[in-house]
Amino acid sequence: MTQSVPDFAALLRSAEHSACHLEMRDSYMDDPVFADWRAGKPVDRPEAYQLPHEYQEWASLVRETVARGVVMRRARIVSEPVTDYIRWEHAITERHNVALGERVRWLPRRLASDLALPGNDLWLIDERRVLFHWFTGDGEWAGHEFNEDPATVKMVTTAFEAVWDRGIPHSEYVT
């Protein structure tokens, strides 16, 4: 059942046990930190680079969520060789995700061929609620949909767990 889309921060704050993010694109919308990375700035080192306000808000939300005992997992399915965007994501993942308490795994797309996957990126909250994200072909934001339909949630949960089981932990994945 599709419902109105809740505020994302409120949705994440409502998580009691788990918040899982599945990312399946090789590039997304332009990002100022990505631009800085491409220009050679040390965006992965806190002592050398101040993240924008939006990133600081995200960091606070993740810390708050993890502190409540919610397990946050992020799985990324990526083409290889990776795009510059994925190379950048990998470069900032330790600081931007892992250091905050998220668990992150990477799955080369060639290892996902036999998995049944949803058609869009998503957040799965407590294996009960799904927030699908839509992007245009060039990675720009196009919208989202909230879904609590048990069959959809089950499909998403199964897909996420399959990706997670095959995924390579961030500390072991090399771009």
The pLDDT tens digits of the residues spanning 49-96 come to 988 888 899 999 999 999 999 999 999 999 999 999 999 999 999 999
Please give the Cα distance from 49 to 41 (Å, whole number): 8
Indicate the pTM of the whole model.
0.94
Residue 66 sits at φ, ψ, to 5 deg, of: -65, -40
Comparing CA positions, the residue from 33, 102, 90 lying closest to residue 64 is 102
Please give the Cα distance from 163 to 64 (Å, whole number): 26
How many separate domains does the chain show? 1
The pLDDT tens digits of the residues spanning 99-147 come to 999 999 999 999 999 999 999 999 999 999 999 999 999 899 999 999 9
Residue count (the chain)? 175
Q: What residues make up the domain containing 98? A: 2-120+128-172
Q: What angle do CA 149, 151, 105 make, to 5 degrees?
A: 95
